[in-house]
Amino acid sequence: SGQKVCYGDFKRSCYKLAYFQDLSRRVGFQEARQACEIDGGALLSLESEAEQQLIENMLQNLTKSGSGISDGDFWIGLWRSGDGLATSSACPDLYQWADGSISPFRNWYTDEPSCGSEACVVMYHQPTANPGLGGPYLYQWNDDRCNMKHNFICKYGPDIFPTVPAGNAYDTSKPEDQYHVIATETGIIPNLIYVVIPTIPLLLLILVAFGTCCFQMLHKSKGRTKTSPNQSTLWISKTPRKDSSMEV
C-alpha cells in the first residue's frame, strides 16, 4: 500500500503492507526480506493472537478499500533454514523468525507445515475463494517454496516512526479505539517537509535582502549611464565628412 501504519501511540510497532496487483511485481521470500530491511524494518514477526488480529484487520481494510485489491498471499518472516530433519516430526520446531524474535506464537492451518521443499511461510489471503476451496483458511499460515512470488508485510520498531505524542495514546477500554490507526506516507518528500518548513522565515529574509541589494545596484547603474546633451556631441561618426574647402 506504500504506507506505514502505526496502531495507537508510538510505543507500539508499525507495519507496511506491500501489495502488488501486478503479479509480475510480486517477489520471493529473500527479496521480500531484503526489501523490508532496506526500508528500516524486517519481515513481519507475530508475537500474539492480538497482533495477528491487528494484521487481519489491516488486510480486511485493504480488501474493502475499493482499489481493486484481490487475492494474493503475504510473506511473513517465519522460515526454516537448511533441509535437516525437513521430513521428520521435528520439522515444525525448526521454523524461526527472520528478525530474531523468539515468539512461540503460530497460526498454522490444518496439516501445516508440510515441510519438505517448502521452507518459507505465507499468510493465506484468498478472500474470493469458495469455502470448500480454502475460504476457511483466510489469514492462517502455510509454508511454501521460498522462490514463489507473493506480496509481503514489513514490521518496524516503535522508535522508527514516532509520529503520535504519548498524550494521544488510545484507550483500550473503548471498543472504537481498539484499532485506531495513524497512517503516514513514507519516502523522501515527507522527510524534506520537516526540514524545509522551519527554514522558510530564513529563506524569506534572504530573499528580501537579495532584492534590496539588486535594487540599489540597479539604481546606481542608471546614475552612471546618464549623459548630458553636450557629452552626446563628443561621439565622432565612423564615416568622416569631407571638408568642402579641400575640394578642387
Q: What does the pLDDT look like over 135-188, one tens digit per residue?
A: 778 999 999 999 999 999 999 987 544 333 323 333 333 333 333 333 333 443
| Predicted confidence (pLDDT) at residue 71 exceeds the cutoff of 80 | yes
The CA distance from 36 to 96, in Å, is 17
Say whether 91 sits in a helix, a strand or coil. helix
The CA distance from 34 to 99, in Å, is 11
Mean pLDDT over residues 114-135, rounded? Answer: 85
- List Cβ neighbours of 199 (8 Å cut-off, separation of 6 or more): none
Q: What is the pLDDT of residue 66?
A: 60
In a domain, 189, yes or no: no
Q: What is the pLDDT of residue 216?
A: 77
Q: What is the pLDDT of residue 178?
A: 36
In a domain, 41, yes or no: yes
| Predicted confidence (pLDDT) at residue 14 exceeds the cutoff of 70 | yes
The CA distance from 105 to 83, in Å, is 23
In a domain, 114, yes or no: yes
Name the percent of the chain lying above pLDDT 90.
36
In a domain, 30, yes or no: yes
The CATH number of residue 141's host domain is 3.10.100.10
Q: What is the pLDDT of residue 9?
A: 55
- List Cβ neighbours of 244 (8 Å cut-off, separation of 6 or more): none
Domain of 25 in residue numbering reads as 4-82+93-159
Q: H/E element holding 99?
A: none
Count of structural domains, the chain:
1
In a domain, 231, yes or no: no
Q: What is the pLDDT of residue 200?
A: 73
Helices (H), the chain: 29-38, 49-63, 188-225, 229-232
pLDDT digits (tens, 9 = 90+) for 178-205: 333 333 334 433 444 444 455 677 777 7
pLDDT digits (tens, 9 = 90+) for 191-241: 444 444 556 777 777 887 777 877 777 777 655 554 444 443 333 344 444
| Predicted confidence (pLDDT) at residue 96 exceeds the cutoff of 90 | yes
In a domain, 77, yes or no: yes
Name the nearest CA neighbour of 19 among 185, 150, 183.
150
Q: What is the pLDDT of residue 95?
A: 94
Q: Are 109 and 135 in contact (CB under 8 A)?
A: no
Q: Are 3 and 16 in contact (CB under 8 A)?
A: yes
In a domain, 106, yes or no: yes
pLDDT digits (tens, 9 = 90+) for 23-62: 999 999 999 999 999 999 999 999 999 999 999 999 988 7
Q: Is 127 exposed, middle or buried (0-12, 13-18, 19+ CB in 10 A)?
A: middle
In a domain, 166, yes or no: no
Q: What is the pLDDT of residue 162?
A: 38
| Predicted confidence (pLDDT) at residue 106 exceeds the cutoff of 80 | yes
Between the two ends of the chain, the Cα-to-Cα distance in Å is 99
Q: What is the pLDDT of residue 29?
A: 98
